[in-house]
Amino acid sequence: MEHPKITQAMISAYDEYTHLTLDRRDFMRKLRALAGSGAAAAAIAPMLAASKAAAEIIPENDDRLTTTDLTYRGAPGDIKAYAAMPRDATKLPAVIVIHENRGLNKHIKDVTRRMALEGFLAMAPDLLSPSGGTPEDEDKAREMIGAITQDIYGSNLVAAVEFLKSHQNSTGKVGAIGFCWGGGQVNRLATLSPDLKAGVAYYGAQVPAEEVPKISASLMLHYAGLDDRINKGIDAYKAALEANKKDFQIFVYDGVNHAFNNDTSSARYNKQAADLAWSRTVEFLKQKLS
């Protein structure tokens, strides 16, 4: 069989499945109709999904880094987290790395190591800790995400800010970066924590306009040009940020899809956009957390 062609309709169907319906049977039915056969759909589905085999860009044992599993006090109990920092560093600005709706997986741990190599104390909380932690099954993780309240997520992220403020290797200045579901959590954390200095949200849902006055952090917001679902909220969010004189930057990357930064998904990843967004992110965090 020839290399299957992936269309925008297929990507949209996958986005609907992973963010709205969580109905894999219906998704595969739609994909078969779009692909023309069950065999083609079976070949395309893994290309739309994230590949665990491609998750490790920076090895876990990279000798430039010190990594650790840790816990911090959250609500209603301890939150598990993964942390990384440059080896032999002493005091660094800290960055919370907030996972997608698949939980704290190997890809997000890899992103945490990438952030550490940029000169930060990086920590990725497992926000599914109240339900026992992130499972191997991604569909199960997506179901679990919806079973924990936003109040608990918010409380545990505020606790992460406080934990990193007083961490022995932290300068006391804390930022956050999040992707997809985690991008939405960055926006929400900015309304909850006056101690958050900077937040970077990749294709994340916006907070309601009435919440914007509570934001004190500087924000950098990355959006995918083809991401109609999330982009519907840009104009209202931008207007509210402007009206409240907040420090923010918005970048829309034309012709790319939701999750364009995730290099484990061959169909949606866009290297050019991802590299540009990452360079902007690192520069922004270094400036705002200096």
Domain harbouring 147, CATH code: 3.40.50.1820
Same domain, 167 and 268: yes
DSSP per residue, 230-284: HHTTHHHHHHHHHHTT--EEEEEETT--TTTT-TT-TTT--HHHHHHHHHHHHHH
Question: Is 0.85 topped by the overall pTM?
Answer: yes
Q: Is residue 252 part of a domain?
A: yes
Cα–Cα distance for residue pair 140/145, rounded to 1 Å: 9
Provide the pLDDT for residue 11: 83
Same domain, 221 and 131: yes
* Spatial contact of 160 and 123, defined as CB atoms under 8 Å apart: yes
Domain count, the chain: 2
Burial classification of residue 172, based on how many CB atoms lie within 10 Å of its CB (0-12 exposed, 13-18 middle, 19 or more buried):
middle
Same domain, 152 and 243: yes
Same domain, 62 and 192: yes
Same domain, 121 and 194: yes
Same domain, 115 and 87: yes
Provide the pLDDT for residue 52: 63
- Enclosing domain of residue 253: 56-288
Same domain, 25 and 128: no
Same domain, 220 and 160: yes
Q: Is residue 1 part of a domain?
A: no
Same domain, 217 and 284: yes
Q: Is residue 3 part of a domain?
A: no
Q: Is residue 197 part of a domain?
A: yes
Q: Is residue 240 part of a domain?
A: yes
Tokens 């907040």 correspond to what residue? 246
Same domain, 95 and 27: no
Q: Is residue 190 part of a domain?
A: yes
Q: Is residue 82 part of a domain?
A: yes
Provide the pLDDT for residue 14: 84
Residue 97 vs residues 26, 69, 91, 239: alpha-carbon distances, Å: 32, 14, 18, 27
Query: Tens-digit pLDDT profile for the chain (290 aa)?
Result: 456 778 888 888 888 888 788 788 888 888 888 888 888 888 888 888 766 655 678 999 999 999 999 999 998 899 999 999 999 899 999 999 999 999 999 999 999 999 999 999 999 999 999 999 999 999 899 999 999 999 999 999 999 999 999 999 999 999 999 999 999 999 999 999 999 999 999 999 999 999 999 999 999 999 999 999 999 999 999 999 999 999 999 999 999 999 999 998 878 899 999 999 999 999 999 999 99
* Spatial contact of 237 and 219, defined as CB atoms under 8 Å apart: no
Same domain, 15 and 143: no
Provide the pLDDT for residue 241: 98
Provide the pLDDT for residue 1: 43
* Residue type present at position 142: R
Cα–Cα distance for residue pair 73/256, rounded to 1 Å: 38
Same domain, 178 and 34: no
Q: Is residue 115 part of a domain?
A: yes
Cα–Cα distance for residue pair 150/127, rounded to 1 Å: 11
